[in-house]
Amino acid sequence: MNLGGWLLLERFITPYLFAITDCTIRGEFRVFPGQVDAAPDSSAYAFNQNSSIAWEGTGCNPILPYPVDEWTLASAFPNKTLARAYLERHWDNFVTKRDLELIKQSGRRTFACH
């Protein structure tokens, strides 16, 4: 069992979190259908259904180069309170209590730490 990408962000697991825009760093946390490997529409992340392709036509411009790790992602936010809120949104939704219950129900009793 691996919960990679939850408490330590990894760009290859959740690239949509790193594809931020100037709107994101102002506190408009939204994911667009068609965005780079965006979370599924059924996820807990808020989708902006007004745009069919990434952030085009939204007035939001990408922050380039995209952050490559958790440090550069948080550093892209001038307001660290907003950076924390952005990360907490992910932490609260990427793995849920229900996911942990399902893991527990799987019956696995041994864990390997690497």
pLDDT reported for residue 57: 62
Q: Model confidence over 59-97: pLDDT tens digits? A: 788 888 889 999 999 999 999 999 999 998 888 888 888
Strand partners, 64: none
**3-class SS shares of the chain: helix, strand, coil, % to 5:** 30, 5, 65
Q: pTM of the prediction?
A: 0.70
Residue 99 has pLDDT above 90, yes or no: no
Give CA–CA dist 85/22, Å, rounded: 16
pLDDT reported for residue 48: 46
Match 């102002």 to its residue by tokens.
26
Mean pLDDT on 94-107: 85
Give CA–CA dist 43/30, Å, rounded: 12
Give CA–CA dist 46/76, Å, rounded: 21
pLDDT reported for residue 65: 85
Q: Which residue has the higher pLDDT, 85 or 7?
A: 85
Q: Model confidence over 10-50: pLDDT tens digits? A: 888 888 888 888 888 999 887 655 554 455 555 544 444 44
Residue 56 has pLDDT above 70, yes or no: no
